[in-house]
Structure 1
Amino acid sequence: MHPAEEPSSLRDAPRCGARTRSGVPCRSPAMPNGRCRMHGGASPGAPSGKNNGNYKHGQFTREAVEARRQMRALIAYLRAFLSH
């Protein structure tokens, strides 16, 4: 679509205005926060803990790591005890 044929609402939309790397203001249409989709600011990030879709099995939680550490220490102690 030729720029002159754009819907008037898009042509009349407020512009982002963030400075591009070349130093000129960005000419993309702004979202409600005042910046375009590329200059909209930091993402809030992924949810933490079990709300994150990445949580699978709990094998590397603090509790699981500590339990394995204690078990290894106990096994080492018993091996040393039995070797004497």
Structure 2
Amino acid sequence: MSGHARNTEAMRASPRCGARTRSGAACCAPAARGKMRCRMHGGAEGSGAPRRNRNALKHGLFTKKSRAEQRQIRDLLGEVRMLLRELE
């Protein structure tokens, strides 16, 4: 070990992150300055969900209208296959 004294009191006295780990235990990392979470759990600059909840936008593939349209196309293709079998 080196001969210099370590000053870790400030770090040990700092508030801890309030997040829970996968095992259910509390996160032991110090919270980011002015935040309630550490840098890994959302205290870092720019972390978190995007504004206006862009993650929840719908793409429209499973709307009632689109599913009805898909059903019509599937029925139409079935009829075409039956007609082709009759022509053979």
TM-score normalized by the length of structure 2: 0.39
What TM-score does the superposition give when structure 1 sets the normalisation length? 0.40
More helix by share: 2
